[in-house]
A and B are shown apart, each in its own frame.
Chain A
Amino acid sequence: MAFFNVKALAVATATSAAALFSTAAQAVEIEYWQYFFDARVQAMETLIANFQEANPDITVKMTHFPYADYRTKVAAAIPAGEGPDVVQLFYGWLNDYVAAELIQPLPADVFPASKIDEEFFPMVQAMKEGDAYWALPTAVRSLALFYNERLLEEAGVEPPTTLDEMIATAKAMTKRDGAGNLTQVGMTAGMTAQDHHWWREGLIRQFGGEPYVDDYQTVNYNSEAGLEALNFYASLFTGDDAVSAIGFMDEPQAAFKAGRAGLHIDGSFRIGSLNNTRGLKWGVTELPATADGTRSNYSSYWVNAITTKAEGEKYDAAVKFMEYVTSDEAMQIWLDVVGELPAKPSVGLTEANSSDPVFGPFIKGLAYANTTKFANESGQRQLMVEMVERMTLQGMSAEESLSMAAEAEQKILDEYYNSASN
């Protein structure tokens, strides 16, 4: 049996090697790089296979790296004339990649800005400069409210649709022991997870504010709306009737997975790991609206771009590949394999997708989502974490803590945009 396997393997290797050589004879080979995440690699393998079938004269070689090494490798390879022709990057890194001349704009004849403006969800316009797009996503992510069905049932409440309902629902599911220690939270809280996005692009806008102005170069949340949003957020975990606690069960997603939290705000990328959690019955709904129906959401995405290394026939092949990975077909495959949402309403808002009980709430959220342009996402998140900590650990007032956070964040933005323009 073992012998047979070895033999079969040898034959298979030989045939595939032969196939490789025969096509490689006249084919253009382009390289595609992304960071390693199992589902993304799988989805890309499918896309590459489909693409190569349609374009037999082009082969695409995919290379992937651990996330931690990704930036360093890309930065070292492209200037040396090595590495990818098409590269994947986080939307927030675009400025750095453009400034370092690692990527080139997409050709306007194949990707006219007016057409992309029309076809893609509006937040993708962050990738546009003048009349040209630098990069385009295959898929996008947004936030939604996860709920634990068992806990809702036990408390006899329904999934909330407004912020007030959310608080009431969470209260109904909060449990304490005899000494008043929380043993089950109605809702998770913690700026370290996704809440800082919810606060920035969700709550502040819902309370009538605008978190940033000047194309995200100026902090604007030190305002009435910002303060209201912060007070609302802090009310979740302060006071005697708190429905949550920062650091409860270490991490918000851990508490939700363990069935000790009723409600939890998280991104579409969490779906996979929740599906793998045994014994957890969960559902998901859109982020709660205000009483007058105002909604707002946050969206982020990874994009693909053509590097400055691609020239001549490789460039033409790279353009074709970009066309394919931003096509409707590619987006549907990405949704089915990775669970990330299509970047075009024409694919996302199909009847089947938008009424999907799991993806639907996220896809609906895209219609009113905003994308923060971060200079240093983890640094800026840290400021939100500290804004809350100053209130909970040092008893600082919300006004003062908010204005300190705004000032510190402005400093990060100023430093970044001043050095980027040099």
Chain B
Amino acid sequence: MYRNLTIRQKQIVWAWAFLAIPILFYSIIRFYPTGNAILISFQEWNLLGDRTWTGFDNYQKLFADPVFWKVFKNTFVYLLLGTPISLVVSFVIAYHLDKTRFMHGFLRMLYFLPFMTSAVAMAWVWRWFYQPVPVGLFNNALASMGIPQFPFLQSTTWALPSVLAPAIWAGLGFQVIIFMAGLRAIPRSYYEAARIDGVSSWTVLWEITLPLLKPTIVFIVVFSSIGFLRIFDHVFNMTTNNPGGPLNSTKPLVLMIYETAFSAFDMGYAAAQTVVLFLVLLVVSLIQLRLLRDS
């Protein structure tokens, strides 16, 4: 049978044979659990007993739950603070690092190091930095200068930024490297032409560097947005005793999902939250791709 095929048909058969492996892999590892999660979101299940159908109950409960809306808002605060700040900071670092020759490799390594550090270890170190007197580094410094203590993790206002700061710092190294690669990819000839025309460096930045970096910026924005929407390890490790606290002020959606699933054992409700997170990620990514695409 295979022998009777034309060369073109044989090529198609082989292409499908090779493609089947990743397709199979993705179906089992990605699509099947995703489909199952969507299914569970319409059911009630405590991990032990049978699953029972409950229709839209989990979703109704979700939209009526004030904690969910609080958490939903937090998730977007992480996104709306985290993405722009990390984008600007990493660009500024990359832009200047690109021009620095002195100890270039060493500096780049220093910026990249936090990205390679375990998020759990980093979160715990920062958690101790933030403690009140007598253990906290920052508060001890403040106290020794006679300044009142600052309630980093003990305030409903400041806990979220305090948790976010190390998370931004941790992701910075990666973004700096991507930006530097983007900067290197811009042809030198544009800059030379601009110099001959006597253009100011500000104009060079606005008219040449940034427009040509657009693909890089799109990539980083989408990537870091997804990261901040899914933030979990930093928050969980910095607030383990009171996860997402104080008073849910730092709780992101993923942490709520985790708690609903593995301490309340309410898998249906957790799955409904997961579906909402999935939709949010999808919509945010699509909007960003559209907005930042070349018009």
Contacts and interface: CB of A to CB of B under 8 A. Distances in A.
A250 to B, nearest CB: 6
A99 B49 contact: yes
A181 B264 contact: no
A165 interface: no
B279 interface: no
B143 A389 contact: no
Contacts of A102: 48
A100 B49 contact: yes
Contacts of B52: 422
Contacts of A377: 263
B144 to A, nearest CB: 10
B46 interface: yes
B58 to A, nearest CB: 12
B134 A260 contact: yes
A193 B153 CA distance: 18
B52 to A, nearest CB: 7
B200 interface: no
Contacts of A247: 131-132, 153-154
Given A179-B146, A179-B148, A378-B259, A99 B48 contact: yes
A386 interface: yes
A386 B52 CA distance: 32
> Which residue of B127, B245, B246 has the most chain A CB atoms within 10 A of its CB atom?
B246
Contacts of A181: 132-134, 143, 149
A249 B48 contact: no
Contact of A393 (B146, B241, B247): B247
A394 B248 CA distance: 13
Contacts of A64: none
B154 A71 contact: no
B247 A390 contact: yes
Contact of A245 (B47, B132, B156, B248): B132
B17 to A, nearest CB: 34
A192 B154 contact: no
Contacts of A245: 132
Contacts of B131: 247, 249-250
A190 interface: yes
A96 B48 contact: yes
A101 B50 CA distance: 10
Given A249-B134, A250-B128, A394 B247 contact: yes
Interface string B135-167: 100000001001011000111100000000000
A403 interface: no
A376 B264 contact: yes
Interface string B244-279: 011110000000000100111100000000000000
Interface in A62-76: 68, 71-72, 74-75
Instruction: Give the interface residue-count category, chain A.
Output: 35 or more
Interface residues of B, number: 33
A193 B240 CA distance: 11
A379 B264 contact: yes
B56 to A, nearest CB: 16
Nearest to B243: A382
A422 B131 CA distance: 46
B241 A190 contact: yes
Contact of B242 (A96, A382, A419): A382
A402 B113 CA distance: 47
A248 B154 CA distance: 11
A177 B133 contact: yes
A393 B155 CA distance: 7
Contact of A75 (B47, B143, B264): B47
Contacts of A207: none
Nearest to A419: B44
Interface string B95-125: 0000000000000000000000000000000
Interface string A251-274: 100000000100000000000000
Contacts of B149: 181
A273 to B, nearest CB: 16
A397 interface: no
Contacts of B265: 71, 96, 376
Nearest to B269: A415
Contacts of B242: 192, 382, 385
Contacts of B48: 71, 74-75, 96-97, 99-100, 102
A72 B155 CA distance: 36
A386 B156 CA distance: 12
Contacts of A246: 154
Contacts of A126: none
B132 A248 contact: yes
A371 B107 CA distance: 58
Given A72-B47, A177-B143, A378-B259, A182 B264 contact: no
Interface in A55-98: 68, 71-72, 74-75, 96-97
Contacts of B127: 250
A183 interface: yes
Interface of B: 44, 46-50, 52, 127-128, 131-135, 143, 146, 148-149, 153-156, 241-242, 245-248, 259, 262-265
Given A179-B143, A192-B241, 11 more contacts: A74-B48, A99-B49, A179-B146, A181-B132, A190-B241, A250-B127, A376-B263, A376-B265, A378-B263, A379-B259, A379-B263
Across chains A and B, which 4 residue pairs bring their CB atoms closest together, nearest first?
A100-B48, A100-B49, A192-B241, A378-B263
20 contacts: A71-B47, A75-B48, A97-B48, A100-B48, A101-B49, A179-B143, A181-B133, A182-B132, A183-B133, A247-B132, A247-B153, A249-B131, A249-B135, A250-B127, A260-B134, A378-B263, A379-B259, A379-B264, A382-B242, A390-B247
